[in-house]
A = this chain, B = another copy of it.
């Protein structure tokens, strides 16, 4: 979406120009990919050697280094982040890259006997990675299945403005008492409890009656539980996997697994698929 600097691509580059270029690219927090024939040595927690072969080297903006062979999930050699990276032309005239980690002390050296391509790209990625459900979906499932919050629970408002913020769910329990519900997609911290408490107090201030407050999350930090008890708030543990299954069942979310083929696809030949035996 945001217009990005064009990636810089070099085909069959002169190795002599690369150390400087790569150093600069790393300094500017770009991602560097080098494709070519290399050999690799590693020493640290273990020690390894790998002779010449065609591989993909990736240097990420945090200093992670990955050397990938043409098969398999895992890199054959790597260096996690926080490394010092050097690039130079070695005595055989090859592009050589050294990635050093200090704790534990580990050294990774990659020497390219042939460089096919170099790609330097400025990658920007701020997206959130969510497993199972995001908070909005979580709320949708609970609003659609209020019995999961508590038997007899009835939703009155989805998102209720209270004081400076918005409570996720406002409802009444089976005895007609008002209930404020706060949701967290991940382990609920003390902060989440205080947030809920703020809504409870705001409600009390407005309506002159203290509502119950329930914090719903997949897990709770000890300090969160301690604070909940102290502030006379309640909590309920939910399993995101379960909620997800429910969301799929109720049609709130489509499962990728359902279509072995792509959404909306009609009948087609097999030419579109590529199988790996």
Interface residues of A in 249-264 (CB under 8 A from B): 255-257, 260-262, 264
Whether, in the assembled complex, A26 has its beta carbon less than 8 Å from a beta carbon of chain B, the answer is yes
Chain B residues in 8 Å Cβ range of A47: 131-132, 244
Q: Within 8 Å CB of A233, what residues of B?
A: none
Tell me the count of chain A residues lying within 8 A, CB to CB, of chain B. Answer: 99
Residues on the B chain within 8 Å of A98, using CB: 262
CA gap between A86 and B274 in the complex, in Å? 6
Chain B residue with the shortest CB-CB distance to A68: B58
Q: State whether B9 touches A117 (Cβ < 8 A).
A: yes
Residues of B close to A49: CB separation below 8 A: 129-130, 134
A76 to B125, CA, bound (A): 12
CA distance A241 to B48 in the complex (A): 11
Cα–Cα distance between A56 and B113 once the two chains are bound (Å): 24
Tell me whether A50 is interfacial, beta carbon within 8 Å.
yes
A56 engages B43 (CB within 8 Å): no
A84 to B261, CA, bound (A): 10
B interface footprint on A1-31 (CB within 8 Å = 1, 0 otherwise): 1001011010110000001000100110001
Whether B7 pairs with A33 at a CB distance below 8 angstroms is: no
Distance between Cα atoms of A55 and B260 in the complex (Å): 25
Contacting B at CB under 8 A, from A84-100, are 84-88, 90-91, 96, 98, 100
Residues of B within 8 A of A128 (CB): 50-51
Q: Does A213 contact B (CB under 8 A)?
A: no
A219 CB within 8 Å of chain B: no
Give Cα A128 to B50, complex, Å. 6
A124-153 toward B: CB 8 Å interface, digit per residue (1/0)?
111111111010000000000000000000
22 A-B pairs with CB atoms under 8 Å apart are A1-B52, A33-B119, A35-B119, A42-B256, A43-B257, A51-B127, A53-B123, A53-B124, A53-B127, A54-B125, A60-B68, A60-B71, A62-B70, A62-B276, A66-B73, A71-B81, A73-B75, A73-B81, A82-B277, A87-B274, A106-B257, A116-B121
Other than A4-B116, A85-B273, give 11 A-B pairs with Cβ distance below 8 A: A7-B11, A27-B274, A48-B131, A50-B127, A53-B125, A54-B124, A55-B125, A84-B273, A84-B275, A88-B262, A88-B272
Which 10 pairs, one residue from A and one from B, show the smallest C-beta to C-beta distance? A53-B125, A63-B276, A51-B127, A54-B123, A70-B123, A43-B256, A53-B127, A62-B71, A107-B256, A26-B274
